[in-house]
Amino acid sequence: MKLRRRTFLLAAASAALELQLTRLAHAQQSTVINYGGSAWLGHYPAYVAIKSGMFAANGLDVKWQSFGTSSARLGGMLAGGVDIAGTGIVSALALMARGSKHLSVIGAAEDFGKVEGLFVRNDVKSVGDLKGKKIGVTFASSAHLLVLDLLAGAGLNPERDVNLVNVPAPELTAALQGRQVDAAAAWTPYFSKIRSLPDVRLLADDTSFSLHKQFGVTPGPDVLVVRHAFGEKNPDAVRKFLQAYFKASVMLRDKPEEAARFLTELTSLSMPDQVATIKEASWYDLSQQKALLDPSSKFATGLQKLSDLLATHKQFDKSPAVRDWIDTSYL
């Protein structure tokens, strides 16, 4: 009996050691990817994929790095500290306009047209009623472009007819509540917080943007970008990242309640608000990516039109050829 017991214990110890060595080998083989994100919904798939273990299952060790703005996130990428990031296309276009070749667009995350918009007080019935009023908005953002587009459509000059006030996104709710501004343009989660204020209503969301109906693009569509040097060195890791990322997108689309459990710690939204926010976006999956990013697609054409519009509104000096920065080789 003692011999059998000793044999059993040795076998158990050997199995435990083998398992430990396997896990260690797996950890050593995992590719580290530094991801730049925030509480904005365009980063939900990455956060869900981290917390649910989808990235780990693909042999990736994805490190979350939080940035307050897309421009700061891309600054981190240019400095080499971020490998893959979700970003509003506006900040990426600004880099393209300067000729930067440090990044490539490798995916389109979602359509968030109904969770970004311009809020006004109840006495404002139209964009024209904003003449002479203060509008709070984060400059150089998609919400900024939405406001410029809406004002142009109403025949208002943003420099003479209204007072645009540069307010960081997290401070917009307090600015509107404290009557420091008469209107505010924001995206979620600030969108949801402003919407809950009394005597405030949504005047227009991104579906009112001039390019949305024709090309299906919002003022600042979310895209995934990769640091060019990282992608060239680790193409398989980028492919595995996209596989897991869009698997999480499918969860968001098909099982929003399940996905929401991973997100409330990131967004500080209640479960009902979190589920509602997920449902208000249209989530793309991996099978849709090549069609979306094809150079001749409506979406890619819309990105170019968006870039041209930004140049028209003097957000940067010239409009780059956006297709030169789109890379579908990882799909």
Same domain, 296 and 319: yes
> In one letter, which amino acid is 119?
F
317 part of a folded domain: yes
> Are residues 202 and 229 part of one domain?
no
Q: Is residue 15 part of a domain?
A: no
Query: What number is the average pLDDT over the span 266-294?
Result: 94
Q: What is the pLDDT of residues 217-243, one digit of tens each?
A: 999 899 999 999 999 999 999 999 999
Q: How many CB atoms lie within 10 A of CB 200?
A: 19
Identify whether the C-beta of residue 289 lies closer than 8 Å to the C-beta of residue 250.
Answer: no
Whether 106 and 225 map to the same domain: the answer is yes
**320 prior amide bond cis, ω within 30:** no
Please tell me whether residues 291 and 206 are part of one structural domain.
no
Q: Please tell me the distance from the alpha carbon of residue 6 to that of residue 197, in angstroms, as a whole number.
A: 70
Measured over the CA atoms of residue 124, residue 127, residue 132 and residue 135, the dihedral's sign is: positive
What pLDDT does 8 receive?
A: 47
Residues near 13 by beta carbon (within 8 Å), at least 6 away in sequence? none
Residue 79 has pLDDT above 70, yes or no: yes
Write the DSSP assignment of 244-312 as a string of letters. Answer: HHHHHHHHHHH-HHHHHHHHHHHH---HHHHHHHHHHSEEP-GGGHHHHHSTTSHHHHHHHHHHHHHHH
Last residue of a domain, one of 215, 248, 278: 215
Q: Which of 202, 149, 89 is nearest to 313 (CA)?
A: 149
> Residue 1 — pLDDT band, cuts 50, 70, 90?
very low
Pick the closest to residue 38 from 10, 18, 67 (CA basis): 67
Residue 7 reports pLDDT greater than 90: no
Q: Is 73 a domain residue?
A: yes
> Among the ranges 29-33, 113-117, 276-280, 322-326, which has the highest mean pLDDT value?
322-326
In a domain, 50, yes or no: yes
Whether 178 and 239 share a structural domain: no
pLDDT of residue 49 exceeding 60, the answer is: yes
Model pLDDT, residue 73: 96
4, part of any domain: no
Instruction: Give me the sheet containing 200-205, strands edge to edge.
Output: 163-166, 134-137, 183-187, 116-121, 200-205
Q: Does 124 score more than 60 pLDDT?
A: yes
| Judgement on whether residues 105 and 243 belong to the same structural domain of the protein | yes
CA–CA separation, 321 and 311 (whole Å): 12
Residue 188, pLDDT > 90, answer: no
Neighbours of 79 (CB within 10 A): 10
At residue 16, the pLDDT reads 55
| Burial degree of 267 (CB within 10 A; 0-12, 13-18, 19+) | buried
pTM value > 0.85: no
Q: Would 14 be classed as within a structural domain?
A: no
**Could you tell me the residue range of the domain that residue 125 belongs to?**
116-215
CATH number of 182's domain: 3.40.190.10
Q: Domain check: are 99 and 245 in the same one? A: yes
Q: With 50 as the cut, is the pLDDT of residue 3 above it?
A: no
In a domain, 72, yes or no: yes
Domain shared by 192 and 226, yes or no: no
End position of a domain, from candidates 186, 215, 244: 215
Strand 103-108 relative to strand 222-227: parallel, antiparallel, unpaired? antiparallel
Please tell me the distance from the alpha carbon of residue 195 to that of residue 191, in angstroms, as a whole number.
6
Q: What pLDDT score does 189 carry?
A: 84
Residue 55 lies in a domain: yes
Going by pLDDT thresholds of 50, 70 and 90, the confidence category of residue 314 is confident
Do 139 and 280 lie in a common domain?
Answer: no
Residue 193 clears pLDDT 80, i.e. is over it: yes
The answer to whether residues 321 and 223 belong to one domain is yes
171 class by beta-carbon count within 10 Å (0-12 exposed, 13-18 middle, 19+ buried): middle
Share of the chain above pLDDT 70, in %: 92
pLDDT at residue number 63: 98
Token readout for 92 is 């990426």
Pairing type for strands 84-88 and 31-37 reads parallel
Among 26-35, 215-224, 244-253, 305-314, name the one with the lowest average pLDDT: 26-35
Residue 19 predicted with pLDDT over 60: no
Look at the chain and report how many structural domains it folds into: 2
User: Given a cut of 60, is residue 268 above it in pLDDT?
Assistant: yes
**Domain check: are 209 and 244 in the same one?**
no
Mean predicted lDDT score pLDDT of the chain: 91
Q: Which of 181, 215, 249 represents a domain boundary (last residue)?
A: 215
Q: Which amino acid is at 305?
A: K
**Which residues in the chain belong to E strands, given as ranges?**
31-37, 60-66, 84-88, 103-108, 110-111, 116-121, 134-137, 163-166, 183-187, 200-205, 222-227, 282-283
Q: Give the alpha-carbon dihedral of 120, 126, 131, 135, to 10 degrees.
A: 30
241 shares a domain with 319: yes
